[in-house]
Amino acid sequence: MDFSNISLNGPQLESVMYTEGPLLILAGAGSGKTRVLTYRIAHLIDDCGVKPHNILAITFTNKAAKSMRDRVDSIVGGAAQSVWVSTFHSMCVRMLRRFGTMLGYTDTFSIYDSDDVKIVMRDLLKELNIDSKYVKEKAAMGTISAWKNTLTEPEDVVIQDNSFYEQQVLRVYRAYKEYMLKNNAMDFDDLIMNTVKLFKEHPDALDYWQNRFKYIMVDEYQDTNIAQFELVRLLAQKNRNLCVVGDDDQSIYKFRGADIHNILQFEDNYPDAKVVRLEQNYRSTQKILDIANAVITNNKERKVKKLWSDNHEDIAVNYMRYAGGNDEAVGVVSHIRRMHEKGIDYKDMAVLYRTNLQSRVFEEKLIQANIPYKIYGGINFYARKEIKDVLAYLKMFGNSSDDLSIKRIINIPKRGIGDTTVAKLVEFANEQNCSIIEAIDNPFLTASLGKSAAKVASFAESMREFDPSAIKSIKDFTSDIIEKIGYKDYLKTECETTEEYVERMDNINEFLSKAADYDANTENPNLAEFLQEISLLSDIDNLGSTDTVNLMTIHGSKGLEFKVVFLVGLEEGLFPHVRSLYSDDTTDIEEERRLFYVGVTRAMTYLYMSNAKERVNKGQFIRTEVSRFVDEVPPDMLGISHDFLKNNDVMKAMASSPKVSATKKKSPMKTLANPYQLGKNVKADSLDYGVGDRVAHVKFGMGTVKEIIERPKDFEVGVQFDEAGYKKMFAGFAKLKKI
């Protein structure tokens, strides 16, 4: 193979040519590692005379495996088909099909996915008389999976602090092992664990595969767990031609069992290993890489490396600190619109956040701006079950004829009203030509429902405690519903892990924040109006478009790249996540910093980092602290830095804005200074600005007055804002300030 015609840099070529003995390739983000692995395989076949079937390449996804196989095929032709390029699980299936009989399985064993396992867990919990209040199916699955990922058999489990929970799960684990063997089945964790077991208990099986695979390559090595590490170690120990590729700075899957020490301690496990660093980045500008390098160097557990690029485009990295979460979303959407006007496709832009619940406000602003978007790794905020449950209650109170909503919530929380009773209710309502609510109040209904009549009557009576006609605050009314129906307790019984419960409650609190925001910006809160606003925001027709803005968590963005990246919510407690701040494990903060590094290095040309001075949480304005990751960036690396609450001209001009009228009801949420509280519908008797003047608006920023029209009750002012575009508004409402 003539490498003079192949564009590989020095370290890349060195990685390709070094074929004998252990090799660690520390491949920084965007450094072309897939290209290196592809040419390394081709070099082994074409130049070293290695037979294709003696090469094993392990990846983490089927997509990556197919991509690598196709690339090798394009270089060496049909010979590539004999190279084993597969995921860990696919590899283990093939090995166990051949030698699984040694472990008591036939070669036709079944593979159970997570749904299958969940059903087995449910049956075993019943069989063992383990109360689901103490051990949830999903929680048991998670604990058992963690044990398997560390190659811990039931007899090796050490119960921590005499934990009752772990004792019960251990009982399930023992029964589960017996069940799976009896049913000739394995789950995904079993595939790896049983392959390791096969190799340790049956040396002849291990010897067969060691002789087969003389050259082994593992991609994304930083994401391997203990079981995968041991599997690779066993396969490679005879020939020792092991090449692992990875980046410790991108190790972000600890919660899945990944162990960063596998890559950090590679040289300890293989003292004669050669180490090659791929530090030239082919994705991002140097200004973006400078940010990533500056922050990640604060981690102690890492291999030293520094990304660099030949791309020295003079495009600044922007950092913006907005007044509130809504302002942050408005600002991001404004930048998206501007980028699109410059000719950048929506699909080349991404909004990256730490947790899925952050998507809601960005979804809303994108819909309002008629910008198509798609959420990856999550679902539309208003499509989440807990949000649909709460909305169904509100819709029922807003429209008593909404049978769909009533059918949804009549047994949420559990009231002993089953599907049969609901069917009878619907049948009776149809016969009487009335709504379900009206049917419930019909004295003749009792005969149709029998014993269930009392439960339905109890439901109706509990709903009469709420008076939608007396609503003064949508947030308070919604909170009252959640509290009185016992929805939090219901979620506790429905959720299978503490993490799931916390996530769902976070979504509920985010919805309450939306309601509180509506209250704060509405003179007379109205349930029908609020529901209409929500219904419009729930319109997700644009999600099918191919040219869409990408919304995703940073975890979900790994391996991807975008021309424009918005890294949002950079606040202590949000990013880094609050769990890492209170964790006893100090390395959790380092994992959060690696996550920041991954987010930054997704950007190719434009990077916008932002946060909010205040956020609404559970109806309260909470002041936030700037993320430590922002503080770790030298100020001179940020080309434009705005503090939209303290330092810029807009907020200085707003400092003297009149407060909301004393006669307006103050919402309980307003415990902190509210930057959004401005007078509303107040006639502006005189204006201190005219056409052509520069003015400031608390939300839209600075702009130029283009027209002033006197109306019967107020002046209508047209302003061309620098960021938000052209807006028309009444002067008394807008409270513009001349600057």
Clarify whether 503 is annotated catalytic: no
Cβ-proximal residues to 104 (8 Å cutoff; 6+ apart), any chain: 181
301 to each of 71, 80, 265, how far by Cα in Å? Answer: 34, 38, 11
Structural contact between residues 189 and 257, judged by C-beta atoms closer than 8 angstroms? no
Residue 211 to residue 203: CA distance in whole angstroms: 12
Q: How far apart are the first and last CA of the chain?
A: 68
For residue 204, list its beta bridge partners. none
DSSP 633: S
Clarify whether 722 is annotated catalytic: no
Clarify whether 250 is annotated catalytic: yes
Residue in 220, 328, 592, 614 annotated catalytic:
220
Residue 459 to residue 63: CA distance in whole angstroms: 51
Structural contact between residues 519 and 500, judged by C-beta atoms closer than 8 angstroms? no
CA 517 remoteness from chain centre: 24
Residue 338 to residue 336: CA distance in whole angstroms: 5
Residue in 12, 38, 250, 358 annotated catalytic:
250
Residue 419 to residue 202: CA distance in whole angstroms: 54
Structural contact between residues 474 and 524, judged by C-beta atoms closer than 8 angstroms? no
For residue 375, list its beta bridge partners. 551
650 to each of 323, 460, 481, 639, 702, how far by Cα in Å? Answer: 11, 52, 40, 20, 6
Residue 466 to residue 478: CA distance in whole angstroms: 10
Residue in 34, 497, 587, 620 annotated catalytic:
34
Residue in 287, 337, 360, 602 annotated catalytic:
602
220 to each of 95, 229, 576, 630, 642, how far by Cα in Å? Answer: 22, 12, 24, 27, 37
Residue in 33, 287, 594, 615 annotated catalytic:
33
**Residues in the chain, overall count:** 739
DSSP 665: P
Residue in 219, 290, 327, 363 annotated catalytic:
219
Clarify whether 368 is annotated catalytic: no
Residue 124 to residue 137: CA distance in whole angstroms: 9
Q: Which residues are known catalytic residues?
A: 33-34, 219-220, 250, 602
